[in-house]
């Protein structure tokens, strides 16, 4: 499942190709029922210029000259692929946009096998509504340890649940959270009321370390994720404890539990429950 570093990687690459391009054509696969009005979608997209490409949490945003926004969320199995015109079809293509920039023509293909993701066009007020759903990101340099702690304790729950709650902290996903908790020596079921200022400091630092490393390694490719060009990321080769059986720090057996149905790894020795 693409998390912040994966979506960041796609967005950065896409910005180079799509910014200042013109949308020439839009195709929607007839099996894709999430777009309810294909003609309306075409009318709103074709002949628009893509002014900027950016990211909000795990949403990829293409801002258009009309003032509207294309929003793509990859959810579980979504892919966004950039192909030269005439490239063979990709699996599970749902929406395809033809872009022209300086005489070069590309197809931006939104593919999604299980269709939990979305491809949407939002007007300004719908876009503002989307923005209001997300908490700050750990990578935001203005986020202080103090603010981070206040956000964490504002939800009475296990620390892992809060970190995955996008309305509290945006962009952190399961594998990055699992590894960050291990670095910060915090047991994933620790109740937020037991967190100290020092925990928040360590955890924010560990979260930034994992997200920045994930970005450097172009994301995690465990199952479906590939980048804009169909290539895999490398972060799965640098997991700290996620998917491991033996702790790399103390050689103890790693424990596996489920929290909110998400697989969670921790070392009882390095992350004792208080």
The catalytic residue positions are 2-3, 58, 262
Helices (H), 19-74: 38-45
How far, rounded to the nearest angstrom, does the alpha carbon of residue 128 sit from its chain's CA centroid?
19
Nearest distance, CB of residue 152 and Zn ion, angstroms:
23
Nearer to Zn ion, 250 or 273 (CB): 250
Nearest distance, CB of residue 250 and Zn ion, angstroms:
3
Nearest distance, CB of residue 115 and Zn ion, angstroms:
39
Q: In DSSP terms, which residues pair with 246 in a beta bridge?
A: 253
Nearer to Zn ion, 136 or 268 (CB): 268
Nearest distance, CB of residue 244 and Zn ion, angstroms:
10
**DSSP conformation class of 94:** E
Nearer to Zn ion, 106 or 266 (CB): 266
Is the Cβ–Cβ distance between 263 and 256 less than 8 Å?
yes
Six-digit token pair at 105?
């023509």
Tell me which residue of 189, 178, 197 sits closest to 273, measured CA to CA.
189
Nearest distance, CB of residue 249 and Zn ion, angstroms:
5
Which residues would be at the binding site for Zn ion (CB under 5 A)? 247, 249-250, 252, 267, 269-270
Q: In DSSP terms, which residues pair with 155 in a beta bridge?
A: none
Report the number of secondary-structure helices (H) and strands (E) in the chain.
Answer: 7, 10
Is the Cβ–Cβ distance between 192 and 222 less than 8 Å?
no
Nearer to Zn ion, 129 or 252 (CB): 252
Six-digit token pair at 130?
């989307």
Nearer to Zn ion, 29 or 189 (CB): 189
Helices (H), the chain: 4-18, 38-45, 124-131, 145-153, 159-164, 174-183, 197-216
């Amino acid at each position: 499942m693409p998390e912040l570093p994966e979506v960041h990687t796609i967005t950065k690459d896409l910005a180079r190709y799509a910014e200042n391009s013109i949308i020439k054509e839009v195709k929607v696969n007839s099996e894709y029922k999430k777009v309810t009005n294909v003609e309306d979608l075409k009318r709103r997209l074709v002949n628009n210029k893509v002014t900027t490409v950016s990211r909000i949490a795990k949403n990829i945003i293409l801002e258009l000259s009309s003032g509207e926004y294309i929003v793509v969320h990859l959810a579980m199995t979504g892919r966004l692929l950039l192909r030269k015109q005439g490239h063979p079809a990709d699996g599970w293509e749902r929406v395809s946009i033809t872009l022209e920039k300086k005489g070069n023509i590309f197809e931006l293909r939104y593919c999604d096998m299980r269709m939990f993701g979305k491809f949407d066009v939002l007007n300004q007020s719908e876009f503002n509504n989307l923005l209001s759903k997300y908490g700050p990101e750990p990578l935001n340099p203005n986020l202080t340890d103090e603010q981070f702690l206040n956000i964490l304790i504002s939800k009475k729950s296990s620390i892992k649940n809060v970190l995955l709650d996008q309305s509290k902290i945006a962009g952190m996903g399961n594998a990055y959270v699992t590894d960050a908790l291990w670095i910060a020596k915090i047991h994933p079921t620790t109740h937020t009321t037991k967190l100290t200022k020092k925990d928040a400091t360590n955890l924010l630092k560990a979260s930034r370390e994992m997200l920045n490393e994930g970005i450097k390694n172009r994301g995690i490719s465990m199952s479906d994720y590939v980048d804009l060009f169909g290539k895999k990321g490398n972060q799965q080769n640098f997991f700290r404890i996620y998917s491991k059986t033996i702790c790399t720090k103390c050689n103890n057996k790693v424990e596996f539990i489920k929290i909110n149905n998400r697989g969670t790894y921790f070392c009882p020795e390095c992350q004792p429950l208080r």
